[in-house]
């Protein structure tokens, strides 16, 4: 398996003077996802929870909706000429009868860790038809609980403590209890890992929950939340205009700039209860 962190000797400059030390870096390696033996996409990710990442990606693309849609996931042996397994190539075998995605949805190119949506053929291809409608979900989160989510997410980031270089996504109950937290160099990968965990654990759709993410709320993160049936998405930074548009159209509650008791609610404010 690939390493989550990599050690490197660095020169550290401080007011007290220069010094050499060993620093921990967040690992970043390519992962090729194949579907029934056919290359589908390559994404840059932090090794770990790769099966969840692949499963969550397929949920986000509307290819699968339940654990029963997957027959098997395995690493492809002999990925190198000498037969060594790099653990950077996965093959997902779908259950007989599950429809393969259209060729137009294939991403046969590198997806960078900062943007998972850039290579889509068109914006229309991103607006995947969701299996579940989040609009009727009557869950509510108090302002107090939402204010605590960033710190609860940060506390659960074990690799971030060593590297300071990973995004995180966490799934929380209305009481603020963390159901699952995943880390990755790519914020979209962290969400895919979380959604894949939920699918493989038989938890989809993720009703009555909130998804808390580090960084900004992009269009793709809103799409992933909707595709997984998550009714509330909160981010510590800003949303994009397209993210707000999709959230409003889908009936998703979207919050940004969640920092302590300060936050902005961009859509679905009826799900957030306030103390005043």
Residues with a catalytic annotation lie at 115
Residue 10: count other Cβ atoms within 10 Å of its Cβ: 12
Residues 6+ apart with CB under 8 A from 241: none
- Report the 3 state secondary structure along 120-155: CCCHHHHCCCCCCCCCCCCCCEEHHHHHHHHHHHHH
Question: C-alpha angle with apex 4: 146 to 209, nearest 5 degrees?
Answer: 25
> Which of 197, 204, 161 lies closest to 182, judged by CA?
197
Question: How many Å apart are CA 61 and CA 127, to the nearest integer?
Answer: 9
C-alpha span between 215 and 147 (Å, rounded): 15
Secondary structure of residue 258 in the 3-state scheme: strand
């Amino acid at each position: 398996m690939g390493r989550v962190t990599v050690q490197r000797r660095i020169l550290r400059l401080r007011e007290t003077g220069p010094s050499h030390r060993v620093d921990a870096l967040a690992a970043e390696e390519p992962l090729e996802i194949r579907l029934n033996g056919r290359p589908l996409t390559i994404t840059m990710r932090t090794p770990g929870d790769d099966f969840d990442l692949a499963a969550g990606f397929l949920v986000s693309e509307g290819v699968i909706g339940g654990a029963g849609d997957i027959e098997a996931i395995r690493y492809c042996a002999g990925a190198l000429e000498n037969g060594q397994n790099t653990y950077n190539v996965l093959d997902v075998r779908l259950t007989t009868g599950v429809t393969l995605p259209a060729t137009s949805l294939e991403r046969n190119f590198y997806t960078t860790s900062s943007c998972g949506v850039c290579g889509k053929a068109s914006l229309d291809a991103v607006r995947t038809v969701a299996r579940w409608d989040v609009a009727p979900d009557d869950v509510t989160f108090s302002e107090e609980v939402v204010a605590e989510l960033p710190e609860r997410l940060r506390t659960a980031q074990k690799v971030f403590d060593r590297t300071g270089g990973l995004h995180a996504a966490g799934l929380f109950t209305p009481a603020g209890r963390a159901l699952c937290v995943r880390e990755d160099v790519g914020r979209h990968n962290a969400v895919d890992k979380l959604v894949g965990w939920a699918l493989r654990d038989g938890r989809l759709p993720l009703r009555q929950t909130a998804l808390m993410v580090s960084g900004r709320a992009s269009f793709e993160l809103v799409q992933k939340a909707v595709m997984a049936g998550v009714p509330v998405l909160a981010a510590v930074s800003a949303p994009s205009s397209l993210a707000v548009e999709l959230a409003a159209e889908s009936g998703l509650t979207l919050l940004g700039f969640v920092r302590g008791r300060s936050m902005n609610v961009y859509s679905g404010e009826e799900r957030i209860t306030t103390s005043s």
